[in-house]
Each structure stands twice: as C-alpha cells, then as structure tokens.
Amino acid sequence: MPSTIRVRATAGGDTTEVQALVQHPMDSGFVKDASGNLIPPHHIEVLEFEHGGKAVFTALWGPAVAKDPYVKFSFKGAQKGDDLTVSWVDNKGQSDSLVAKIQ
C-alpha cells in the first residue's frame, strides 16, 4: 500500500524547509452522509517530524483541519541527505509513518 504521507524537505543553508501532505478524511463529526446520518469524527490527532532522534515539529490537530492536511514549517541543524521521520496517529488509533531524505 502506498504511504499516506508525502513530504518534501529541502535544505538551503542551515535551514530545512518541510512541506507535507497527508491523505486523511479529517471527518469533523458535523457532516451528514447521503442518508442523513452524522459521519463520526475521524481525524489525525498528532503528526510528528523527527530528525536525529529528536522531534523538530509536532502538530496537534482537531477535526477543523482540512481534509488531506497540508503543513509547512522549517527548522535548523539538518543537512542534505539526512533522514526526516514523519509519523501520525488518528482518533481511531490508525497510524502511518515514513522516512524521507532531506534534499
């Protein structure tokens, strides 16, 4: 199965810029399906980025984050070729992770 995570991390000087897209419904719990039943909330709760064994960015998300969420941030101390580990867990206990190379 392909990963739900797409990440691009680019090192420029001493700063690495990270953009990530995660495939996830991010159901808010306030939307009804075709037959009028509420679709229960289903959203990512924690998305974490690690470099060198240390968290460099942690997103704590509620159901108001848009479907197939996107996030962008940047951090210092990484070099081209380093690993960046991305992982998420949602309110149903589902999870995924990916190790990306910093470009």
Partner 1 sequence: MAQHDNRPDRTRRLMLKGSLAGIGLSLTGLWQRARAAADAAIWPKDAFAQKAEADAIKTLYGKDAEASDQVKLDAPEIAENGAVVPIAVSSALPNVTSIAILVSENPNPLAASYKIPAGTSAMVANRLKMAKTSKVIALVESNGKIYSATKEVKVTVGGCGG
Q: How far is the CB of 6 from partner 1 (least distance, A)?
A: 15
Q: Is 100 in the site for partner 1 (CB under 8 A)?
A: no
Among 40, 72, 80, 101, interactor with partner 1 by CB under 8 A: 72
Cβ proximity to partner 1: between 3 and 75 the closer is: 75
Own/partner contacts of 26-33, CB < 8 Å, gap of 24 or more, are: 26/61, 26/63, 26/65, 26/66, 26/67, 26/68, 26/69, 27/63, 28/63, 28/64, 29/63, 30/63
Q: Is 64 in the site for partner 1 (CB under 8 A)?
A: yes
Q: Is 11 in the site for partner 1 (CB under 8 A)?
A: no
Token pair, residue 84, equals 């960046």
